[in-house]
Amino acid sequence: MMHPPTGIPIALEPLVLRVLAPNASPYTYTGTQSYVVGGTTDAAVIDPGPVDASHLDALLAAVGTRRLVAVLCTHTHRDHSPGARALADRTGAPIVGCGPLTMDDAGPRADAAFDTTYAPDRVLAEGEGVSGTGWSLLAVETPGHTSNHLAFALPESGALFSGDHVMGWSTTIVSPPDGDMAAYMASLEKLMGRSDRIYYPGHGEAVENPQRFVRGLLGHRRAREGQILRLLGEGIGAVPAMVARMYVGLDAKLLPAAERSVLAHLLDLKGRGLAVEAGEWRRS
């Protein structure tokens, strides 16, 4: 997806329109992809994106004369959920989906990335959802990228809106303390047990062979884990030093994200009794 247009609804299949928000960055790729799902009489919007007047207008134009049943959010990062309130206020639709994120840990904070104003009218649990004429969206709990992350299944077409859990352009950032590698891997395994036809992610192109794609993501993470264990065995226990060895040639803007992912792997290894933290990290 080289230069996709922002603000223009693109039909992906009869029940699905995609509208790209104008918030491209090294972390969002070409921007956040909002989805309008529905038939001729009613619809829902998934991930309305950042607060941006032009994007709000584009979403309202894509909904058109249909009744907006709900505004759904996969998670509460600031590129996905802040636009929900403005869209709800303009249409009267309820905000439903993931729960608000509350972080009460005593360690390093990650609140800067989160939408702390998010206030859903209804939080969806596994299998719960919303529906309209000829369509339905069902929650699939996929924690890992964030602890409150949901995907949404569209059983009428076999599509899954995967948010940031599975993206079409990059591996997912798993950033502690809220991001959890063990939960992320378990959520990938959960998706392997499903039979979705296609994924529509929050960023990047559609994933047209999801089972093979998810298998590749699992293999990639297991390979990273193996690299980390080898480096620990060589006595390399500082995260920046590991990243320098593991991510040769990575854009400097993405190094902080790489460091967070390595830390997430280390915390997972610690939880499984394979690594310990004593100033620097080492193998158990």
CA 123/CA 92 separation, integer angstroms:
17
CA 223/CA 152 separation, integer angstroms:
29
Please choose, from the candidates 77, 252, 92, the residue with its C-alpha nearest in 3D space to the C-alpha of residue 165.
77
> Please, is 254 exposed, middle or buried when counting C-beta atoms within 10 Å of its C-beta (0-12, 13-18, 19+)?
middle
Neighbours of 109 (CB within 10 A): 12
Please, what's the b/e burial string for 44-65 (b: 16 or more CB within 10 A of its CB; e: otherwise)?
bbbbbbbbbeebbebbbebbee
Q: Which of 42, 47, 52, 79 is the catalytic position? A: 79
79 is catalytic: yes
> Please, what is the Cα angle at 120 between 54 and 164, to 5 degrees?
65
Secondary structure E strands in 164-218: 198-201
Cα 19 to its chain centre, rounded Å, is 17
| CB-based contact 185:144 (threshold 8 Å) | yes
What Cα–Cα distance (Å) separates residue 225 from each residue in 59, 87, 275? 41, 41, 11
CA 35/CA 80 separation, integer angstroms:
11
Structure token digits, residue 51 = 């607060």
The total number of residues written for the chain in this structure: 284
* Residues annotated catalytic, as ranges: 79
